[in-house]
Amino acid sequence: MSARDLILGRLRATQHRLPDPVAPYRPEAPADLGAALAARARAVFATAEEITSLDDLPAAVARYLGPDITTLAVAAELRHLAWSAAGLTPAAPPGRAAMAASVAPVVGAIAETGTLILTSRDPHGPWPNLLADRHIAVVPRGLISATLEEAVARLAGNRLPRSLHLATGPSRTGDIEQTLELGAHGAVAVHLVLTP
């Protein structure tokens, strides 16, 4: 008998009481998803700001990074912006390599928890968050969902991507003496830039 048949056979041998299906959780969505997202993200050690035009992004990024970092990985779809005018040198995302800072759009965000969503379907995958010390996430307001469930449904389409990476605040660990330290493996700092 295969292990599969053995396991399923054993499980089917016992009848358990079947509780009724559970109502999905649908908390009331905040009126302003963007504001809620930013507030929740700030509560978990991220920073956030909003710009009124994507053209303002290079200046916002330069302000955020300060004078010490002038070269950063910029996602292909943002490379056309006027980076040098803001004093920055845009580089192509280096793939699976470390970077000091990276700016890339996310494919979604969750207002309830202040979460950013990256996906394997993007050419840069999850690396802007996982391999950059500073992750600057461009969040178009239209891509913000109220809840996790809504976000997954929106991104599923015909088939979920290989991976969705739901990142809430910077990477952290409490593994040494239960004391919070940021930047265990993924981004040490996360900055959200909300765009129209």
Partner 1 sequence: MTTLDFKGRAAKALHDPQLTGALARAKGHFALGRAAAKARTPDFEMLRDRATAIRRRSIALMPDLLERFEARATAAGATVHWAADAADARAIATGICKAHGATRAIKSKSMATEEIELNAHLLSHGITPVETDLGEYIIQLRGETPSHIIAPAVHLTKDQVAETFRAAHTDLDPARDISERQALVKEARVKLREAFLAADVGITGANILVAETGTIVLVSNEGNIDLTASAPRLHIAIAGIEKVVESWDDAGIVLRVLARSATGQDMSSYVTVLTGPAQGDEVGPRTSHIILLDNGRSTLAAGNKAEMLACIRCGACLNHCPVYTAVGGHAYGGPYSGPMGAVLTPAIDGLTKDTANLPNASSFCGRCEAVCPVRIPLPMLLRHWREDAYAAGLPTRGERWGLGIWRALSTRPWAYRLTQWSAARGLRFVSWWQGGRIKRLPFAGRGFTATRDIAPPAAKSFQAQWRGRR
- Subset of 160-189 contacting partner 1 (CB under 8 A): 160-179, 181, 183-187
Q: Rg of the Cα trace of the chain?
A: 20
User: Which stretch in 49-57, 58-66, 70-78, 105-113 sits in contact with partner 1 by CB under 8 A?
Assistant: 105-113
Smallest separation, CB 27 to partner 1 (Å): 7
- Binding of partner 1 at residue 4 (CB under 8 A)? yes
Contacts of 37 (CB under 8 A, 6+ apart): 48, 109, 110, 111, 114, 139, 144, 192, 194
Does residue number 152 form part of the binding site for partner 1 (CB under 8 A)?
Answer: yes
Contact 182/190 with Cβ under 8 angstroms? Answer: no
**To the nearest whole angstrom, how small is the minimum distance from the Cβ of residue 144 to partner 1?**
15
- Shortest gap between Cβ of 5 and partner 1 (angstroms)? 9
Nearest distance, CB of residue 82 and partner 1, angstroms: 28
Q: Render the burial of 40-79: b for 16+ CB within 10 Å, e for the rest.
A: bbeeebbebebbeebebbbbbbbebbeeeeeebbbbeebe
The footprint of partner 1 on residues 26-45 (CB under 8 A) is 27, 40, 44
Which of 57, 122, 128, 138 lies at the binding interface for partner 1 (CB under 8 A)?
122
DSSP summary character for residue 29: P
Whether 191 and 46 have beta carbons less than 8 Å apart is answered as yes
- The yes or no reply on residue 76 touching partner 1 (CB under 8 A) is no
Which residues lie below 8 Å from residue 91, measured CB to CB, with a gap of 6+?
71, 72, 73, 74, 99
Using rule CB under 8 A, residue 143 touches partner 1: no
- Structural tokens at position 45: 């050690």
Determine which residue in the list 146, 147, 189, 191 makes contact with partner 1, applying CB under 8 A: 147
CB of 33 to partner 1, least distance (A): 16
Q: Using the rule CB under 8 A, is 66 a contact of partner 1? A: no
22 near partner 1 (CB under 8 A)? yes
